[in-house]
Chains A and B, each alone.
Chain A
Amino acid sequence: MLVRLIVLLCVVALVPSPTPLAASETPWSLSAFLDHRSKLGEVQATFVQEKQLPEVEDPIVSTGTLKFAPPDFLQMSVETPTAEIFTIDGTRASSQKAGSDRVRSFPVRFAPPLEAIGIGLKGTLGGNLALMEEKFTVEFSGEKQEWRMLLTPINRRMKRRIEKIELRGQDFTLLTFTMNEADGTITKMSITELL
């Protein structure tokens, strides 16, 4: 009997306790979301990117893993179609193809689409509103189960190249990143954050 009681207690202990009472929970908002994200630290994820160029029938699909380390480091390790490591660290970007010693390094502002991807992902995953608001207006809508964040460029240079960025997610997790460029290119990225 005692043994059964102990086992029962253990089982109870192992079962995750329900979330705190609704009354003490912070209401769902952009600041609540970003505040939570800013405390998470490093993030690992897998991604599938589909880039639809207006000139080409089929989208170019890339897959790989993604790593974000606060405050300013983002690395995408592409596995297919061509192995490549692409990094944005602060204001600099670099890319290195597999099997090549050559690292192409350049200021990320030279490539507005890459800068926009960097700002969108780093700003969301790291909960950094200031970073996003430097070059975009940020609109946040939806419910906790299905939220949407819309970034619209305000910076002149950025505006000429990028129409908008839309990020969607559930709870505190980012699920998709979609970027529409002025020339009709659409980049859609599905993200699966790893625990």
Chain B
Amino acid sequence: MIKLNWMRVFQRTLFAVVLAGLGGGIFALVQNSTFVSDLSFFQPETSDRKMQLAVSQMNSGPSSNFVFVALTGGTPEDLAETSALVVESLRQSDHFEFAINGSIPLESDELDFLLDRYLLLGPDIKASAFETKNIRAGLENALEELKSISDQPLARLFFRDPIGHIAATVDTLLVGEGPTTYDGVWFSDDLSAALLVGNISSDAISGSQQVAALDYMEAEFEQLRASDDMAIQMSGASVFARTASSSIQSEAMLISVISSLILVAVIRLAFRSWEVVLCFGVPLVGGVVAGAGVVQWLFGSIHGIAFTFGATLTAISVDYPIHVASHLDGNKSRWRALNEIRSPLTLGAASTAIALAPMSVSSFPGLAQLGVFAVVGIATAAIITQTILPTILVPKQSTPELPRALGRGTVLALPTQIGLFALAIFSVAYLTLNEKSVFTDDLSRLSPVSPELVAVDRRLRGELGASDVRRMIIVEADTQERVLRKQERLAPRLDQLVKSGDLGGFRMTAQMLPSIQKQRSRATALPSPEIVRANILAALSDTGVRPQAFDRFLAAIADAKSGRYVRVADFNSIPILHAQLRATLFEEEPGSWVGLVLLNDVENAAAIEEEVERIQTRGLHYIDLKRESENLMANYRAESLGWLGVGVILAAIGIFAALNPARAFRMAFAITIAMALTVSVLVLAGELLSPFHIISLILVLGLSLDYALFLSRETRDDEGRSRTLFAVLVCASTSVAVFFVMSFSSTPVLSGIGFTVAVGTAISLIAMTAFFAKDEKDRIT
């Protein structure tokens, strides 16, 4: 007869229920969470307007959807042919809003719209353009051209535009002189590469949609290229993002597989049970699900960075089940075993949560999310460890052997303590005396984009004459008209800077589409159609040209003077021009219009900034995106360090309240030494501390606190101490191994975190063991 072990059945059932609950939690999280992955993580909620504009430009600036493309490896003719075919295909695809390669491919009705309204558009028109002698000179030139047997579309255009204004208007769509052209297609100066620009559809908000657009372009190129030798090079923010995300994804996958294997192997080796391995995942997964769920509920979305680092900080809780399992044996009840370590476990979790809690009220929503995530995650994991885990965990029978041998190593505790203290003093003094910089706010140092790709980007932008996306002037007003007027007031100042060589060129919407005010004054200044007709008739004598040839030009003058002015909406019928206008003039929110002035070849940034400040008009901002992003990082770092400082003080107060002051002081002393040594090692190894490193240091702080609390706790006998040492050793081994693997990542953020935590945990283990492993005098009060 089979004898049922009801306890075992209950255990298994509960375990199954817990796993099902976690599975359900993960499913609910995936179903209901909105993940965000832009720079808003670092964006403070209340800040000056300039910084808000900078951040919104970094997230969705005029060039954030641009893909700069070079086609190489063929004859210029083949390259031009392929470029034309690729652009044609992109234009017909929904993936791209527009694509340009030099020729502005206007359909005849679109061209008609421009030719009917162009007198109100583009740069100022000189009155002399309408004089008989100038029209006659242009006409003679055009007639000579028309004698050629080959097609002369520009010569024919003369009859619609005898003052040559349309070309000047189209030029305003380009910044600077524009690239070299061959076969009407943009080329690099040496004709080795055909250049084009695609603008990914603004509907493609998510990374995967952008990747789909890039993949589409590559596939079309493969199919349309004139020869197999031809290759495509792409650049731009979306390309960087794709490279970064694909390299992060593939590497993160590899790293997580290796780390998980190591983690499982260490736990399996230490506890000799697969069931234990599975049980250990419960508090961690429970913590992550709870943390993410609460963030989603409170903030309405989860930032990708908050999720990643929230989960990383919650990973501290892997240690909790290790401590519990290490103290289980067949002779005492699991609840009794738990009670023995409940104090250090609770105190460790509580003080880490307290240290992170102030971050939750940060003005940076990303930081606040991280704070909430980590506090909820750690608290949940600690609660699960103390409630559910003991029930589902199988007791361990034997006493661990390993730590006994290691325990002997701690006999030299005092000399080690002195040595560590001296080393900490020495390294901090060294760093201070040599004025080593410890922090960095330069995001590009953390960029996973290879220097080669950055070089390609710089070259392509240079050859395309694309604007310097780092610096721009932002013009704000409550209406579109006021933005254009402000730009018109700004233009002469910038012209001066171009003349003085401080600036290569600039592009603003008002150059193409003047304000209504300016259009009105231009219309008034235009000569009447009757005067122009008389001038034309005088210019036509003996040429054989019919006067009616200029009827549409005269109609355009009459139309310009009719009081019907051109607005952005009028360009709806010309998608390619409309998209270009909308990229630099848009309504950010009702009643708030933003116009961008793009700058190229900035020689003297300070002069431009000074000039903009001198104008003293409200709603005019000179923005250096790199500087603003560094300011943003510096503010972020200052605030995260500030909140962390508050948190550490609160946690320290808690610990001093919970423990006797001598022991608490000793713990604080040991942890300070460990942290000072960790920072010193990082800086000496060439790591500058970014905000991501700081988050990693919080994790190290939490781990050292845990080690200190456990190692210094009261134990009745050698076995108890041996089990504690064993637990700490397993905890530290898993952390060091997992983060050491991560430090080999080619992604700077990941390798930085990996290195910081691996080094920090190793140093903490050495320091805490040296200070507390042999300590039996102090007791938890």
Contacts and interface: CB of A to CB of B under 8 A. Distances in A.
A127 B407 CA distance: 99
Nearest to B77: A92
Interface string B123-157: 00000000000000000000100111111010010
A107 B147 contact: no
Contacts, number: 64
A27 B184 CA distance: 48
B590 interface: no
A82 B549 contact: no
Nearest to B108: A160
A111 interface: yes
B545 interface: yes
Nearest to B80: A107
Interface string B68-84: 00000000010011001
A82 B107 CA distance: 32
B716 interface: no
Contact of B545 (A55, A76, A82): A55
A173 interface: no
B544 A95 contact: no
A106 B81 CA distance: 10
Contacts of A62: 147, 149
A86 interface: yes
Interface in A33-60: 49, 53-58, 60
A34 B147 CA distance: 33
Interface string A96-122: 010000001111001101100000000
Interface in B75-98: 77, 80-81, 84
B81, B108, B149 — most chain A CB neighbours (10 Å): B149
Contacts of A105: 77, 183
A13 B628 CA distance: 98
B459 to A, nearest CB: 26
A44 B107 CA distance: 37
A62 B152 CA distance: 15
Interface in B374-403: none
A167 interface: no
A65 B545 CA distance: 28
A45 to B, nearest CB: 15
Interface in A3-39: none
Contact of B148 (A57, A84, A113): A84
B159 interface: yes
A89 to B, nearest CB: 11
B146 A53 contact: yes
A84 B146 contact: no
B336 to A, nearest CB: 85
A81 B147 contact: yes
B149 A106 contact: no
A183 B153 CA distance: 12
Interface string A77-89: 0100110101000
A57 B150 contact: no
B150 A82 contact: no
B184 A106 contact: yes
A113 B151 contact: yes
Nearest to B145: A82
A107 B81 contact: yes
A160 B151 CA distance: 16
Nearest to B76: A105
Contacts of B49: none
Interface residues of B, number: 24
A155 interface: no
Nearest to B158: A55
A165 interface: no
A167 B549 CA distance: 29
B183 to A, nearest CB: 5
A107 B150 contact: no
A55 B549 contact: yes
Contact of A57 (B81, B184, B546): B546
B544 A58 contact: yes
Contacts of B548: 55
A91 interface: yes
Nearest to B545: A56
Nearest to B153: A111
A78 B207 CA distance: 57
A25 to B, nearest CB: 39
Given A91-B81, A106-B184, A107-B81, A86 B149 contact: yes
Given A106-B184, A111-B153, A97 B546 contact: no
A106 B183 contact: yes
Interface string B143-179: 1001111110100100100000000000000000000
A49 B149 contact: yes
A66 B171 CA distance: 39
Nearest to B183: A106
A73 to B, nearest CB: 16
Interface string A144-184: 00000000000000001000000000000000000000010
Given A91-B81, A105-B183, A107-B81, A57 B149 contact: no
Interface in A112-145: 113-114
Nearest to A104: B150
Contacts of B147: 60, 62, 81-82
A191 interface: no
A135 to B, nearest CB: 16
Interface string B511-555: 000000000000000000000000000000000111011000000
A110 B77 CA distance: 13
B184 A82 contact: no
A92 B143 CA distance: 25
Contacts of A97: 148
B546 A78 contact: no
Contacts of A57: 544-546
17 contacts: A55-B545, A55-B546, A55-B549, A56-B545, A57-B546, A60-B146, A81-B147, A84-B148, A84-B149, A84-B150, A95-B149, A105-B183, A106-B183, A107-B80, A107-B81, A113-B151, A160-B107
Given A55-B545, A95-B149, A183-B156, 13 more contacts: A53-B146, A55-B159, A57-B546, A58-B544, A60-B147, A84-B150, A92-B77, A105-B183, A106-B184, A107-B84, A110-B183, A110-B184, A160-B108
Interface of A: 49, 53-58, 60, 62, 76, 78, 81-82, 84, 86, 91-93, 95, 97, 104-107, 110-111, 113-114, 160, 183
